[in-house]
A and B are shown apart, each in its own frame.
Chain A
Amino acid sequence: MSAVIAPATSRAARTIYLDYAATTPLAPQVLEAMLPYLRGGESDPLLWANPASAHGPGYRARAAVERARAQVAALIGADATEIIFTSGATESNNLAIKGALEFHGALRGSRRAHLVSSRTEHRCVLDSCRYLETQGVRVTYLKPDALGRIAPAQVFEALTPDTVLVSLMWVNNEIGVVYDIPAIARGLRERGVLFHVDAVQAAGKLPIDLREVPVDLLSLSAHKIYGPKGVGALYVRRKPRARLAPQMHGGGHEQGMRSGTLATHQIVGLGAACALAAQRLGEDAVRLAQLRERLWQRLASALPGLHRNGDPQACAPHLLNVSFEGVEGEALRASLPELALSSGSACSSATAEPSYVLRALGRDDELANASLRFSFGRATSVEEIECAAQRVIEQVRWLRELSPFGKDG
C-alpha cells in the first residue's frame, strides 16, 4: 500500500510576493513626493489646487505637473512636450490605437485601413483591435513562434498599402519575451508606417531611448514601476508628428488629446517613479535576472517535466513563466497560498481559462493552464526565491504523487 502524505502546511507566516508584473508597491520616495500634492506643502498649503486654475496655487500645481512630465520624458529619451498623461496603460493603449486609426479616417469608412498587432499582446490592445474590427478595420494578428518570438521580417511581410499602424509590446507581460523593437521601428520608419509600442513591462527594466529608436507612440504605466495606480502616459512623437484623434473630450487638457482634471499627486508620483527607475535601471536589471536564473535552476534541477515559457535568450529580467507537466493548474495555484503570483496576466487570472498567450505559443490547454508566472521586484530577496522554489517543488511532487495517472494503486 502506498500512502501519500500531504506536505506540512507552511509555518512561514509571511506571504512571498512574486507578482511585481501585476503591480508594484509604491516606493517610499514616490509617496514622499506625492504627499504635498495631497495634503498641501509645508510652505505652500494650497499645492492640492487644480493645475488648470488661473491663480497662484493652480500655477504651482501646474509647475509640478510639468516637472513630472520632464522626468517621464527623461526615462525614455523623449521631449517633455511629447508626453500625454492618462489614467493608466489601458487608456494609453486605447488612445494610441483607436486614436491613430480614427485620425486616419478609418472609423467612418472613408478609408480602407489595416492594423498589425500580435496574438500575445495585452488584453486591452487585443480588445481595442477587436473593437476596430467591428468598425471595419482589417487586423492582422501576428503569430509568435514556440518561444514567443516575432521576427522583424514577419512584421514587414504583414504590411499592406492600407496599413495605418503596427502595435506591439516591448516586453510580454506573461512570458517576458523581449521583441526586437529597435529593428522593427527602423524598418517601419523606412516604410512610413506608424508604430505604437506598449512598453509597460519594459520601462525601468530595459534601457529605452526614443532618440535612437523611431517609435511613434509608446505607452507607460506608473504602478508597474513603483508609482501610483491610476496614472500612465502616452508618448506621442513630435518629429515626425504622430497624429491622434482624442478619445476623451472636454476642457482641452493635454494639448486637447486627453481632457480631464490632472491628478497632480498621481502625475508627480509617476514622475518620481520614472526618475527613480532611471537611476536604478542597471542595478535592478542585473539583480532581477540573477534571481530569475536562480529560481529556474532550483526548479529545473529538482523537478522533471518543466517547460520554461518564452525565449530564455531574449527575456526581461523580472519574469519567469513555467509550465508543469502532470499537475492541474488550479490545484497548483491553490497549493501555494503563501506565494502571491499569477498564472498569467492579472487581468485574466480570475477566470479559469488557460492563458491565451501560452496557447499562442502552441502549448496545449493542460500545460497552458498548469503554469505559474513568477515576477520579481526590488524587495525580492534570495531567501524568498529559495523558499518559493522549495514550496513549489514540494507541492508539485505532492500533486503528481496524488494523481491517478500512470499509477496502479
Chain B
Amino acid sequence: MPLVEDSNPFAYPAPVWTLFRSAPRAGGFAPGTPGVVTGEAQSNAARSRLRLQLRFERGRVADARFRAYGCPTSIAVGAWLAGWAVGKDVRELAGLSAARLRKELEIPDHRAHCALLGEDALRAVLDRLPEDPSP
C-alpha cells in the first residue's frame, strides 16, 4: 500500500487538515501588548476551548493569535479565524457567522459545534472591545 506522508488518513475535510497540521498564528501576544483584545469560548460538551487574540491598530486588526484545546476541527477553526481576521475592521468582524466558518472549512454537521466555538470566541473579542480600539 503506498504510504504518502501526511496524507490525512482520518479523512478530515482538506481545509481542516491543512490548518490543523500547520496551525499558522498559533500562540499568544505577550501580556500588556498594546491594542490586544482577547476573547475566549468553550464548549463543555465537546471539552474544547478556543482563545482568540486580535491586535488592533486604527480600527483594524493588525495581527492575530490563537490557542486551542480540542479536536482538530476546533484547532483549525482557531487558525482560520486568526488568519482571516487580519486586515478586517469591526464591522467586518461582526459579520462573520458560524455558517460561513462551516462553509470555509467544509465542516460536517456532526462537527457544527466547532464552528459555533469559533463564532463565540470572535463574539467574545467584540464584546470586550473598547469604544475606540485603536490606541
Contacts and interface: CB of A to CB of B under 8 A. Distances in A.
Question: Do A and B have CB atoms closer than 8 angstroms in the complex?
Answer: yes
Interface of A: 1-6, 9-15, 327-328, 330-331, 333-335, 337-338, 365-366, 401-405, 407-409
Contact of B28 (A5, A333, A366, A409): A409
A331 B27 contact: no
Contact of B6 (A9, A330, A365, A403): A9
Given A1-B27, A1-B29, A409-B31, A404 B9 contact: no
Interface stretch (B49-57, B88-96, B98-106, B127-135): B49-57
Contacts of A6: 21-23, 26
Contacts of A10: 5-6
Nearest to B110: A352
B69 A403 contact: yes
Contacts of B70: 328, 331
B3 A402 contact: no
B71 A328 contact: yes
A384 to B, nearest CB: 13
A121 to B, nearest CB: 27
B65 A9 contact: no
Interface in B1-51: 3-10, 12, 20-23, 26-31, 33, 40, 47-51
B87 to A, nearest CB: 19
Q: Is the interface of A mostly helix, strand, loop or mixed?
A: loop
A330 B72 contact: yes
B8 A404 contact: no
B123 interface: no
20 contacts: A1-B28, A1-B65, A2-B30, A4-B23, A4-B27, A13-B3, A15-B3, A330-B71, A331-B20, A331-B75, A334-B10, A334-B71, A335-B20, A337-B8, A337-B9, A365-B47, A402-B67, A403-B67, A404-B67, A409-B33
A405 B30 contact: no
Given A2-B27, A2-B30, A13-B3, A328 B67 contact: no
B122 interface: no
Q: Residue among A335, A402, A403 with the most chain B CB within 10 A? A: A402
A334 B19 CA distance: 12
A79 B124 CA distance: 71
Q: Which 4 pairs between the two chains have the least Cβ-Cβ distance?
A: A409-B28, A404-B67, A404-B51, A4-B26
Contacts of B81: none
Contact of B47 (A337, A366, A409): A366
B68 interface: yes
Nearest to B63: A1
A5 to B, nearest CB: 8
A400 to B, nearest CB: 9
Given A334-B10, A338-B5, A404 B26 contact: no
A312 B30 CA distance: 43
Q: Residue among A10, A365, A403 with the most chain B CB within 10 A? A: A403
B6 A337 contact: yes
B25 to A, nearest CB: 8
A402 B69 contact: yes
A66 B27 CA distance: 65
Contacts of A3: 26-27, 65
Contact of B33 (A1, A4, A14, A327): A1
B71 to A, nearest CB: 4
B27 A9 contact: no
A118 B5 CA distance: 41
Contacts of B50: 404
A13 B21 contact: no
B69 to A, nearest CB: 4
Contacts of B31: 408-409
Contacts of B28: 1-2, 407-409
Nearest to B29: A1
A390 to B, nearest CB: 15
Contacts of A13: 3-5
Contacts of A5: 26
A215 to B, nearest CB: 39
A9 B21 CA distance: 8
A225 to B, nearest CB: 22
Contact of A328 (B3, B47, B53): B47
A405 B27 contact: no
Nearest to A16: B3
A409 B23 contact: no
A174 to B, nearest CB: 20
B26 A328 contact: no
Q: Residue among A4, A12, A327 with the most chain B CB within 10 A? A: A4
Contacts of A9: 5-6, 21
A403 B49 CA distance: 8
Nearest to A3: B27
